[in-house]
Structure 1
Amino acid sequence: MSDDHERVIRNLFAAYIANDRQRVSDALADDFRFTSPFDDDLDKAAYFERCWRDTGWIARHDIERIFVRGDEAFVTYCCLAKDGRSFRNTEFFTFAGGKVRRIEVYFGAARQDGRFLPQPR
Structure 2
Amino acid sequence: MPDDRERLIRNLFAAYLANDRQLVSDALADDFRFTSPFDDDLDKEAYFERCWRDTGWIARHDIERIFVAGDEAFVTYHCLATDGRSFRNTEFFAFASDKVHRIDVYFGAARQDGRFLPQPR
Same fold by TM-score greater than 0.5? yes
Equivalent AA in structure 1 for residue 10 of structure 2? R
After the TM superposition, which parts of structure 1 deviate over 6 Å for at least 4 consecutive aligned residues?
A: none
Equivalent position of 1:73 in the other structure:
73
Equivalent AA in structure 2 for residue 31 of structure 1? D
Equivalent position of 1:39 in the other structure:
39
Match runs of 1:74-113 below 5 Å: 74-113=74-113
Equivalent position of 2:23 in the other structure:
23
Listed one character per residue, the Cα deviations across residues 30-76 of structure 1 (whole Å, up to 9, x for unaligned) are 11000000000000000001111001110111100000000000000
Structure 1, unmatched stretches of 5+, are: none
C-alpha root-mean-square deviation of aligned residues, in Å?
A: 1.4
Q: Distance in 2 between matches of 1:51 and 1:112?
A: 23
Q: Distance in 1 between matches of 2:11 and 2:115?
A: 28
Identity of paired residues, percent?
Answer: 83
Secondary structure, counterpart of 2:46 in structure 1: helix
The offset of 1:118, in angstroms, is 5.2
The offset of 1:119, in angstroms, is 2.8
Q: Distance in 2 between matches of 1:98 and 1:34?
A: 17
Q: Distance in 2 between matches of 1:46 and 1:116?
A: 34
Q: Distance in 1 between matches of 2:59 and 2:88?
A: 14
